[in-house]
């Protein structure tokens, strides 16, 4: 008897017991269940929620690996100076970089999954439901959107908060209003701001070395610009491929783009949201560029640095691209209607750049913008649906329906209402 | 002989738990969010409200047969405003720093829905002794929640209780701070109070299923 068969037998044996949901979760993680439907015309497909989640995780793996190399690269470069004649194979993809990244980032991943899944299991057993798979993606997103040196206990508290307050209190996966990963990020940011912003957190070891003779620092481009500077030392290709300081997985726009295309072609994520969010951020960026060009803002203004930043380069720095591809497209918290998705995405991009420029304390507005639009998504959908109903009612009124029998038109109208 | 009859005792005990003004009736949330970042402020606020509600209910109960029902709200407002001004002046005289922390929220006791609610719902229709007990009971129910929120917010947000450091010194890195603990800045801001209130409501309703409303 193979493993698959054994698991099926065990499942039947413990059906209805207290710990059954926990077992079923592990079971369906490995195999698709052997149950068949007995009535009605149902189609059982294996691409259930768990497969959907796994596809997203697959799209995230390149970002994670890149983040590990980048953690090492930023660390050693901050100590030894950035290499001249930078070559990817020689200076970036090295065992030293990978090893350093792995030992700093894997604990983040383990803590994120450990705490989050433990809470999911506990709630599933309490509720007697199946374990919900929602945390699979959240657990991978969380380590990618925090600075590399985030203390593990802080991450654990934030994950517990995000999963319980952000999701379980609303009824679990599919019922949450806010994206759990961003709730965790927001909690970390408001609870421990010194660990989430500034110039000391983005490079591994910078916090420990602060104040000593070996002090190193690495500022994100946005942080640098937000202080009113307008020139920085990174080239465009550095920004696009991601050899810049930042949260673990968000630096490489190139890999995020690949992940995004993968999600679009596997039909997991909505291309409407991604495209409209990109358009939204470009629009806001253009407005700011226009303000600078028209000379409406003096050069000594604290907003000058970020306002004069080329509009399309906003997509290359910070978490904007990552947020658009992996966070804004969350099917639970985003808009559901197609027209709603356009509005929702556009406003996310628009707001992100706006918050970036106008919030000098923290030049990363993406998570705030997405959380804000998460809250408004149901409202947007509501008005889209209402608008649709109205349009069709109007069409019905204007339509000339030739009655075969007198009185039929009246009936038809009342039915539609 | 018991000090209070069972019926009278319930007037005090009910609002403490199963009919709590904050967690069950969801009244008085505004001040519960605004002033609970410190335990001391929470406690003073609780005592002020106990005073105002105790005395206020007595006064309204005494006047209940003289107040014309058309202008009863005005009459109630005058009573509560008088009492609040007394509290405010006492605080300014004897605890000036604290009265600055509480700022407008002492004045806003006037608009605390719990007080007007009890005047309307109870003191206008009951005797002096029972009204007094009801006022004290509801104010205690309010105060208990305030103190619980204040306790958690100050402990987690500032690492102190009544302004006294209990987790060590964050700057000299002693106590818990020596192993990397840090204060949670989130607990200082008012949204945290909303979440703490929410958790209290959650705990209370899962302990007593009868409190859960039909959806």
Which parts of chain B register pLDDT below 70?
A: 1-3, 215
Cα–Cα distance, A59 to A266 (Å, whole number): 10
Inter-chain contacts counted by CB atoms under 8 A, chains A and B: 23
Closest by CA to A178, choosing from A61, A33, A330, A29, is: A330
Partner-chain contact A154 B198, CB within 8 Å: no
Query: Are A200 and A206 contacting, i.e. CB atoms less than 8 angstroms apart?
Result: yes
Test A153 with B180 for CB contact under 8 angstroms: yes
Cβ distance A119 to A89 under 8 Å? no
Q: Do B186 and A165 touch (CB under 8 A)?
A: no
One-character DSSP codes across A137-200: HHHHHHHHTS-TT--HHHHHHHHHHHHHHHTGGGTSTTT-SS-HHHHHHHHHHHH-HHHHSSSS
Q: How far, in Å, CA of A79 to CA of A209, rounded?
A: 11
CB proximity A215 to B under 8 Å: no
pLDDT at A278: 93
Count of alpha carbons within 13 angstroms of residue A29, beta-carbon side: 14
DSSP label at residue B22: T
Q: Nearest-CA distance from B56 to chain A in Å?
A: 39
Would an 8 Å CB–CB cutoff place A151 in contact with chain B?
A: yes
Residue B79 tokens read as 């009573």
What is the rounded CA–CA span in Å between residue A378 and residue A383?
9
| Whether B189 and A190 lie within 8 Å, measured CB to CB | yes
Q: Which residues pair with B161 in a beta bridge?
A: B164
* Residues in chain B closer than 8 A to A191 (CB atoms): 184-187
Point out the residue among B185, B189, B202 whose CB comes nearest to the CB of A192: B185
pLDDT at position B1: 45
Q: Is B165 helix (H, G, I), strand (E, B) or coil?
A: strand
d(CA B90, CA B87): 5
Cβ-based neighbours of A217, under 8 Å, separated by 6 or more = A78, A199, A200, A203, A206, A210
How far away is chain A from the Cα of B16, in angstroms, using its nearest Cα?
A: 24
> How far, in Å, are A275, A308, A392, B84 from residue A379 at the CA level?
21, 34, 20, 41
In sequence order, the 6+-apart residues with CB closer than 8 A to the CB of A187 are A158, A161, A162, B186
Kindly identify which residue of chain B lies nearest to residue A193, measuring between CA atoms: B185
* Residue B207 CB contacts under 8 Å (≥ 6 apart), including other chains: none
Is some CB atom of chain B closer than 8 A to the CB atom of A300? no
- Tokens read off for B48: 């002020």
Q: Yes or no: say if B125 and B64 are a contact pair by the CB < 8 Å rule.
A: yes
Q: With the C-alpha atoms ordered A81, A82, A87, A89, is the resulting torsion angle positive or negative?
A: positive
Residue A88: name the closest of A314, A242, A305, A275 by CA: A242
Confirm or reject contact between A171 and chain B (CB < 8 A).
no
A361 in contact with B, Cβ within 8 Å: no
pLDDT along chain A (417 residues), means of 10: 75 73 72 69 69 86 89 82 73 82 89 91 81 82 88 91 89 85 90 78 71 65 69 76 82 89 89 92 89 80 76 82 90 89 93 83 79 92 93 86 60 53
Q: What pLDDT, on the 0 to 100 scale, is given for residue A79?
A: 78
Q: Can you state the angle between helices B128-158 and B113-121, rounded to 10 degrees?
A: 160
Residue A227 CB partners (closer than 8 Å, separation 6+)? A302, A305, A360
Which residues are paired to B165 by β-bridges? B160
Distance between B157 CA and the closest CA of chain A, angstroms = 9
A350 shares contact with chain B (CB less than 8 Å):
no
CA proximity to B95, closest of B103, A283, B9: B103
Q: Which residue, chain included where needed, has tokens 């004069």?
A: A308
Spell out the residues 6+ positions from residue A357 whose beta carbon is closer than 8 angstroms to its own.
A288, A303, A306, A307, A363
Separation in Å, CA B122 to CA A88, B11, B64, B80: 78, 11, 10, 15
Query: Chain A window 64-83: which residues touch B at a Cβ cutoff of 8 Å?
Result: none
Q: At what angle do helices A180-191 and A366-398 cross, to 10 degrees?
A: 140
Closest in A154, A165, A194 to B195, CB measured: A165
What is the per-residue pLDDT for A372? Answer: 92
The chain A residue lying nearest B199, using CA atoms, is: A165
Are A191 and B187 in contact (CB < 8 Å)?
yes
Q: Distance between CA atoms of A416 and A395, rounded to whole angstroms?
A: 12
DSSP state letter for B169: -
Q: Do B202 and A193 touch (CB under 8 A)?
A: no
Residue pair B172/B50 in contact by the 8 Å Cβ criterion:
no
Nearest to B185 among A157, A169, A191 (CB): A191
What distance, in Å, lies between the first and last C-alpha atoms of chain B?
A: 44
A254 touches B: beta carbon within 8 Å = no
Of B194, B188, B193, give the one whose Cα is nearest residue B160.
Answer: B188
List the beta strands (DSSP E) in A235-344: none
Q: Is A154's Cβ below 8 Å from some Cβ in B?
A: yes
A109 touches chain B (CB under 8 A): no
pLDDT at position A242 = 80
């Amino acid at each position: 008897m193979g493993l698959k068969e054994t698991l099926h037998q065990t499942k039947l044996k413990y059906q209805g017991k207290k710990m059954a949901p926990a077992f079923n979760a592990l079971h369906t993680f490995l195999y698709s269940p052997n149950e068949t439907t007995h009535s009605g015309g149902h189609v059982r497909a294996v691409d259930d929620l768990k497969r959907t989640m796994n596809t997203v995780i697959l799209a995230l793996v390149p970002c994670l690996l890149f983040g590990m190399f980048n953690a090492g690269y930023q660390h050693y470069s901050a100590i030894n100076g950035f290499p001249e004649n930078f070559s990817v194979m020689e200076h970036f993809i090295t065992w030293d970089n990978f090893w350093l990244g792995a030992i700093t980032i894997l604990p983040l991943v383990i803590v994120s999954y450990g705490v989050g899944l433990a809470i999911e299991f506990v709630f599933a057993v309490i509720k007697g439901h199946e374990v919900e798979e929602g945390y699979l993606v959240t657990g991978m997103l969380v380590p990618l959107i925090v600075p590399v040196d985030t203390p593990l206990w802080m991450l654990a508290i934030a994950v517990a908060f995000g999963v319980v307050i952000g999701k379980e209190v609303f009824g679990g996966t599919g019922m949450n209003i806010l994206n759990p990963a961003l709730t965790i990020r927001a909690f970390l940011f408001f609870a421990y701001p010194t660990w989430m912003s500034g110039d000391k957190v983005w490079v591994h070891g910078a916090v420990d070395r602060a104040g000593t003779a070996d002090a190193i620092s690495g500022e994100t481009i946005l942080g640098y610009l937000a202080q009113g500077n307008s020139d920085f030392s990174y080239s465009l290709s550095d920004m696009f491929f991601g050899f810049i300081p930042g949260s673990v997985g968000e630096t490489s726009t190139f890999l995020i783009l690949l992940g995004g295309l993968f999600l679009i072609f596997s039909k997991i994520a909505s291309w409407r949201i991604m495209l409209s969010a990109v358009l939204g951020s470009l629009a806001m960026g253009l407005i700011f560029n226009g303000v600078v060009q028209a000379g409406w803002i003096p050069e000594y203004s604290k907003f000058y640095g970020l306002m004069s930043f080329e509009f399309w380069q906003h997509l290359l720095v910070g978490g904007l691209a990552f947020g658009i591809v992996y966070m804004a497209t969350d099917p639970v918290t985003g808009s559901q209607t197609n027209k709603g998705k356009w509005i929702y995405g556009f406003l996310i991009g628009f707001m992100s750049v706006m918050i970036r420029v106008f919030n000098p304390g923290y030049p990363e507005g993406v998570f705030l913008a997405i959380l804000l639009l998460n809250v408004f998504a149901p409202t947007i959908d509501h008005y889209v649906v209402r608008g649709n109903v109205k349009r069709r009612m109007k069409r019905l009124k204007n339509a000339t329906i030739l009655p075969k029998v007198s009185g039929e038109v009246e009936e038809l109208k009342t039915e539609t209402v | 002989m018991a000090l209070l009859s069972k019926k009278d005792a319930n007037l005090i005990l009910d609002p403490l738990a199963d009919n709590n003004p904050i967690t069950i009736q969801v009244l008085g949330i505004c001040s519960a969010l605004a002033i609970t970042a410190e335990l001391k402020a929470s406690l003073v606020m609780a005592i002020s409200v106990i005073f105002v509600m105790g005395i206020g209910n007595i006064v309204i109960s005494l006047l209940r047969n003289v107040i014309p029902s058309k202008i009863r709200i005005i009459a109630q407002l005058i009573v509560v405003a008088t009492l609040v001004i007394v509290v405010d002046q006492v605080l300014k005289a004897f605890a000036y720093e604290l009265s600055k922390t509480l700022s407008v929220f002492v004045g806003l006791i006037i608009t605390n829905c719990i007080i007007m609610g009890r005047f309307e719902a109870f003191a206008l229709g009951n005797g002096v002794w029972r009204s007094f007990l009801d006022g004290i009971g509801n104010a205690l129910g309010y105060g208990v929640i305030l103190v619980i929120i204040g306790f958690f917010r100050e402990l987690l947000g500032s690492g102190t209780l009544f302004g006294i450091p209990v987790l060590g010194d964050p700057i000299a890195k002693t106590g818990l701070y020596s192993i990397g603990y840090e204060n949670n800045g989130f607990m200082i801001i008012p949204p945290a109070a909303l979440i703490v209130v929410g958790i209290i409501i959650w705990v209370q309703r899962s302990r007593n299923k009868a409190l859960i409303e039909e959806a």
